Amino acid sequence: MRLRLLAMLVMVAVMISCQSGQATAIKDPKAALAGCLSRMKLTDISAKHELASFMGVSMERMPALFCQRLLNAALSGRLTLSDINRLQLSQPTEVWKIIKGK
């Protein structure tokens, strides 16, 4: 479960939090959100169920809420590429709090 969730999170978060992605998100947040949502459509259903359960939201609300939380965190500077690197190395990070909406 955690590995599949981690892979999906890393894929979307890197897209949003890298410098070029962050610049794109700042210039056009709607396009960044649309890109995240389109990537979420490609995610397998079991990973979506796990993520919705982790977030405590319905399957219908999960993709939009997940992408919006990551986008807001990237725009505010709360989510950075170093957070993603720490996540990949199993080091402490705030990403899980961001996803849960805390």
Nearest to 98 by CA among 80, 84, 78: 78
Instruction: Please list the alpha-helical segments (H only) found in 1-102.
Output: 2-17, 19-27, 29-41, 45-55, 62-76, 81-88, 95-100
Q: By the 8 A CB rule, do 47 and 66 touch?
A: no
pLDDT 10s per residue in the chain (102 long)?
Answer: 555 666 666 666 655 555 555 666 667 888 888 888 888 888 888 888 888 888 899 999 999 999 899 888 888 888 877 877 777 777 888 888 888 888
